[in-house]
A = this chain, B = another copy of it.
Amino acid sequence: MSESKSKLFNEEGDLVVPKAVVGRLSLYLREVQQLIRDGKETTNSTELGKLLRVTDAQVRKDLAYFGQFGHPGVGYRCQELVAAIKNIMGTNNTWNVALIGIGNLGRALLRYKGFHDQGFQIVSAFDVDEKVIGTQVEGVEVYDIQDLSEIVVEQGIRLVAISVPSHAAQTVVDQVVQAGIEGILNFAPVTISVPSKVRVIGVDLAMELEQLAFTVVNRDSKS
């Protein structure tokens, strides 16, 4: 029954949830996971609002886009809410991820422990450099990027992280798209072109510093 997702989409098949809401959903998840570590059983929209610096109404509205997870008079049970948000984000099961580009950043990503806890596992790595192809980095095999299509199918990989030099990014993206990848996390500081069916999120580290510089230079009176 295709009705199960009906609230998230309108008649034209467009996602009806504001993009900002999805961003906050990840933040709610992170905070509630922290509350659980702190030993809390339940939370509520006021508490979550304070943690994220949004209003309580915003918290309730954000969550209500996806269903009814709260208990009037009680609040939200932490474990329940975590399960619900993971379900929405699609991270209740682990995603196999491929890493493309074994430079400095790529190696750091391979060693990064934070992915696993949130349901992501880098299961294979790819490069063009013959010196690294065939080796293992952090227990992850490095393959020739030419073998991408094959390995992707073999290992059920739907997402890739790309950490190649900017000049190589579009070529790699084309290969990745060709291999049937559905989502790309792009660390190269360039805009890449993909068919509309493929999702892209770009992370530009220099740009983040730039945004920080702006907020420091154009500081206003309050937070």
Contact = CB atoms under 8 A, between A and B. Distances in A.
A12 B221 CA distance: 8
B210 A91 contact: yes
Given A90-B217, A214-B89, A217-B90, A206 B118 contact: yes
Contact of A220 (B14, B29, B214): B14
Interface stretch (A127-135, A141-149, A194-202): A194-202
Interface of A: 5, 8-9, 12-15, 17, 22-23, 25-27, 29-31, 34, 51-52, 88-91, 95, 97, 104-105, 107-109, 111-112, 114-115, 117-120, 158-159, 161, 182-185, 189-191, 196-197, 199, 201, 203-223
Given A196-B222, A216-B199, A221-B14, A104 B114 contact: no
Nearest to A165: B113
Count of chain copies: 2
B185 A209 contact: yes
14 contacts: A15-B220, A27-B207, A89-B210, A89-B217, A97-B209, A104-B108, A108-B109, A114-B205, A115-B206, A119-B210, A182-B219, A183-B215, A199-B215, A203-B203
Given A206-B120, A209-B115, A90 B221 contact: no
Contacts of A13: 220-222
